[in-house]
Amino acid sequence: MAIVNRTPDSFYDRGATWHEDAAMERVHAVVEEGADIIDIGGVPAAPGSEVDVAEEIRRTVPFVAAVREAYPDIVISVDTWRHEVAREVCAVGADLLNDTWGGWDERLAEVAAEYDAALICAHAGGVPPRTRPFRVAYDDVMADVLDRTLALARRAADVGVDPARILIDPAHDFGKNTWHSLEITRRLDEMVATNWPVLVSLSNKDFVGETLDAPLTDRLAGTLATTAVSAWLGARVFRVHQVRETRQALRMVSAIRREIPPARTVRGLA
């Protein structure tokens, strides 16, 4: 899942794909690199200037329509917590709603059901959208992740979302400190054991930076290490900035697990 931000102030690319031409160039590039899903977002996760419903729609809906026209068969995801935005993007071709704020708007699942869209049920610890964690604590962070994401998944199925189109996401950094994000990574197999497909969004996040004392521009190695661990433990979808490098890491994990053969094998055979 390749990230394409339609914001002027996203934490990683700092607005590199704010203008539509640049955003479409990014789509072309990540499709070429092997992205299966394009995840389009119109509101940054961090606190900042207000983005109301109308502005989020303006940033996302025409672009979703343009991507759908350019790539009829690609899976298009939209990162939103608002049912009003969800309805508009689904109407122009979005396939997947990425609810990174943990069901803050209960009507989002109803829109997914209405349009037969897929839904990502994420754990944000109950904090409001665009809120940073502050002295957050859990008796057992993975237990809380499981309680909340499974409740969201069950409710989504109850309101009519196809269970085969529901994913769960521990949501690293969202409502969590670095210790929490490391813990949920270490115990990701507990989420996988629920039999809901697990998505992870690890790319260049603060828990990687704090663990390695690495600035934003130097977190790829830590991201790929965490990606490899998550893949080994059974994660199915990876939301990323660097598509080519992530696919290489995932292919290596799959080869070690004997799920795919090496691309070529000549060493010691000739």
- Give, in order, the Cα–Cα distances in Å from 209 to each of 84, 173, 218: 34, 11, 8
* 176 counts as catalytic: no
Question: What is the spatial distance between Cα 210 and Cα 116, in angstroms, rounded to a whole number?
Answer: 39
Which member of 26, 59, 187, 239 is catalytic?
239
Question: What is the spatial distance between Cα 160 and Cα 9, in angstroms, rounded to a whole number?
Answer: 35
Residues 227/246, Cβ–Cβ less than 8 Å: yes
Beta-strand pair 199-201/37-41 = unpaired
Question: What is the spatial distance between Cα 150 and Cα 182, in angstroms, rounded to a whole number?
Answer: 20
* 264 counts as catalytic: no
Token digits of residue 211: 């663990």
Beta-strand pair 166-169/199-201 = unpaired
H or E, element range at 77: strand 75-79
Which member of 87, 205, 219, 257 is catalytic?
205
Question: What is the spatial distance between Cα 68 and Cα 62, in angstroms, rounded to a whole number?
Answer: 10
Q: Which residues contact 133 (CB under 8 A, 6 or more apart)?
A: 125, 127, 173, 174, 175, 176, 177
Half-sphere exposure of 237 (CA within 13 A, CB side): 25
The 3-state DSSP class for residue 194 equals coil
Token digits of residue 14: 């700092």
Token digits of residue 78: 């939209």
Which residues are part of the catalytic machinery? 205, 239
